[in-house]
Structure formats: C-alpha cells, structure tokens
Amino acid sequence: MSFCKDCIKGVTHEGTPEGKIEHIGGIETYVATPTVDYPKDKVVLVLTDVFGLSLVNNKLLTDDYARNGFKAVAPDLFNGDPVTPDAFSPGSTFDIGAWFAKGHDQAHTRPIVDKVIAALKAEGVTTFAAVGYCFGARYVFDLAFENIIKASAVAHPSLLKVPEDLERYVAESKAPLLINSCTVDQQYPPESQAKGDEIFANFAPGYKREYFDGCSHGFAVRGDLSDPKVKAGKEGAFKATVEWFINTISAEATKNRLRGLLRETAQPVAVVTSVLSPDASTHPHDPTEQQPRVYHGATLSSFTSIAMDPVPLVTFALRIPSRMAASLNSSPSNSSSDMVINILSAHQASIATSFSRPDLHPHPFSTTPYFLNADGLPVIRGSLGAIACKLVAKGLPLHDLRFLRPQQHRQNDEDEAAEKVSGTANVSELFIAQVTRVEELDVPGDEGHDLPLLYHRRRFTTCIPGDISTAGPS
C-alpha cells in the first residue's frame, strides 16, 4: 500500500471545536453530541485522515455531523502518533511511508476501531454508520465487509486495492456506499472511479458517487477554502454524506418504528392465484407448441380495497423478483380477468404458509382444494370470499420514487437517478386491479369458516365476534 504527496498536503481550517475528548474502550476519542434530541442507539464513526485528532479540521467535521443530528465519534487511530500539521509546511521532508511502517498498518489500526465499537455497543449503540477520509476509508471498507456498519461513505479514499476491494464490497457487504471523488487523485484516480461505477452498477443496497471538479485528493477535509471550487467541493461532499446517512440509517429507524406499529394492527390474509404466463416460467418452452396451464399463487403481505366508485378497485404489493409479479406483468390485455384474490378464512393458516414459502412448498396446489372459475382461474375452496380481478396498473416500482411523481414534478435526469431508493430489504411492485366479479362460494357453517384469517404480532389469528363499540361508518 502506498501514499501520494497529496496525502500530507493541506490547509488548517479556522474554528473552535465544540466536542470533547473521551476515552471509549480505552481509546482517546473526540466525541460530538447534538444539542437537540437524537437517537441514542446510533453513532457515526468519523475515521480520519493521517492527521487524526492533531488537525483541528477533523474535529470541526465531527462537530458538523453532530449539528445535523448524529452523535459522531472520531477515534485516535494512531495511538497518539498521528502525522502533525507541520507536514503542511513548505519544504517539509516528512516521510509518510516510514511513519506508516512503524505501526500504523491494518494490524495495528483495526483493533483500535474494534475497541471503540465494542465499548459503544456495551453502552447501547446498535447502529453504526461510518465516514472515512483518505486513510480512514480503508477501515470503512473493512467494517462494511463484515457488515458491522449499516451505511458507508468515503471521500478521496486511500489504501484501497482496485478492483479487488470494490468487488469484495459488492460480494460481501449490505451497507449502501457513497464515494465522494475529485479530479486529481492518485489514490482513487478517474480510471478507478469509472471502474467503481461499473462494479457497483447493480449493487442492491445502494451506491452513489459524487464528483467534484477542480478538487484534489484531501479536498473534503483539508482543502484550501480560499479556492471557490475547493470550498464548494468540501461543502458538497459533507452535504452529500449527511443526506446519505439520513436516507439510510435514519430512514431505517423510521421503517422499524412503522413495522412495530403495524404489528399492533390486524391485517387480512389473502392469496392471489393465477395462471402462470409462459414468459414468467423458469423452464424453456417452444412457443409453437400448446403449453399446459400452470397455476400459481402467492400470499399477499398487503391487500386493500381503495375504491368502490366509479368502479371497484383493489391494490396489493408483491416482492420482486417473483414469478407471480412477472406473470401478472406479462398477462394478456384481452383477458376478462387476470387473477383471483382469495380472502382466507380463520382455518386456512396452513394454506397461507404454503403459498408464502415456495422453497418449502414448491407445489402448494397439490394440497390445497380449489376449483376453476368461469375464466379458468383457480379459486381456493373454503375461503371467506374470492374476487376475480383485471389489472388496470401493472408493476408500479415502489423502490423508485421518481416513477411515482407526477411528470411536472420530476427533476432532471441526474437528480432523478438519486431519487431511486436504496436499502438492504426486498423491493416491491404495486398492482392495482378492478374487481370484475365476486365469486360464489359455498362457505361451510362450522366454526372458523365465517371468520377472517388475520396476521397480528407476527402470527396468524382471527377476530372474536362481539359488539365492542358503536357501529362504524357505512
């Protein structure tokens, strides 16, 4: 691993640090805490350049993250032996290679980071994001490889092996990655930037690279702020990083709270059934031959009625990729109905399970009683009710906010690309369908067949009949 001349080049910025030095896990650490309420279970690790806490710039940056609502900690990565700002002086003969060799490689530095993380976990921190500048970027990647952090950001990274580290990141990490890059950077030059864009092109958790023209390696932490381009680059890189963390670790907290709330509400359980389109089949077929009809079904994680007038409409979401989503998206436009939504009754929990786990139940229709309706679509017997539906909207991508916005509210192409939501969870498509017919079912009179199957607090249940309040709106 090597350094470049820009690794020890820079300018000391003006400002007075507002944080304080604490010993976390026995490591001297600069800690900046928001002055407003903030999530106590989240921390941003600021992994510095080679100047560490000896350079006021690093403390000021850490303070800036706290001003934006994140508790931020910057460990002394060098055991009291950072490169000092004296290296900025004209004519300095500081030998960074010799400094690195005397105890600042990964074998010596990584344990420092691990001690701080372990101590913070013991204090109740559960979610870490990390931003690395130059030298510190190496350890952002290492933490991401092990999925210790939930979100990553680096600026003008040093000590990376390209393409090896980038390929390993894609293969092993679930942390969305932001790279702040620049024009002149021997450590992460334009060809490496382009290679990174190629490698991360389909990285599901999320990837973004910002580029700051007219800037050199080190601009985001120790650039000359008297240069308008450098000043804009430093401020732009910081803004991009804050927004990245807001859209990753802060958004994750909101999702977790929403999940907790929704677990307290009871959701009806439904199974959508259809005929599998040949285009959605995983088996090769001859388009000139008559193909046998293959029935397919999927348990819906969300289903609701959204309108009665002027026509009855329902909506549901399907995770992608899935054969059901692919089949519905390729269903013929001339069919009278594309699917049946079966609203399950209280005794059908096993059916809901079999249609939700194709890995465990590859042939759920073999154990599920059903009949074919007038359109030749399977209807599950014993359901509380079943509705035949015709799609009016196919596969609206819920992971792409720009698609959902009205055309007049959409931004330019570059901004639209940034609107694509990243995350480590599965993504879904939203389907809207018109109800064409309510199927006639013979519902047995025994207990359970006239009550709905509900999903509540991560388990199947049903309701207890009884009047507990006044009647709802008609």
Q: Cα–Cα distance between 24 and 17 in angstroms, integer?
A: 19
Q: Is 185 a catalytic residue?
A: yes
Q: Cα–Cα distance between 86 and 18 in angstroms, integer?
A: 23
Q: What is the DSSP string of 126-168?
A: -EEEEEEEGGGHHHHHHHHHTT--SEEEEES--S--TTHHHHH
Q: Which of 13, 156, 217, 296 is catalytic?
A: 217
Q: Which of 185, 215, 338, 389 is catalytic?
A: 185
Q: Cα–Cα distance between 67 and 118 in angstroms, integer?
A: 25
For residue 242, the surrounding DSSP H or E stretch is helix 228-245
Query: Are 328 and 338 in contact, with CB atoms under 8 Å apart?
Result: yes
For residue 208, the surrounding DSSP H or E stretch is strand 207-216
Q: 39: cis peptide before it, omega within 30°?
A: no
Q: Is 134 a catalytic residue?
A: yes
Q: Which of 4, 7, 134, 182 is catalytic?
A: 134
Query: Are 46 and 70 in contact, with CB atoms under 8 Å apart?
Result: no
Query: Are 133 and 48 in contact, with CB atoms under 8 Å apart?
Result: yes
Buried b (16+ CB within 10 A) or exposed e, 130-155: bbbbbbbbbbbbbbbbeebbbbbbbb
Return the CA Rg of the chain.
28
Query: Are 153 and 245 in contact, with CB atoms under 8 Å apart?
Result: yes
Q: Which residues are catalytic?
A: 134, 185, 217
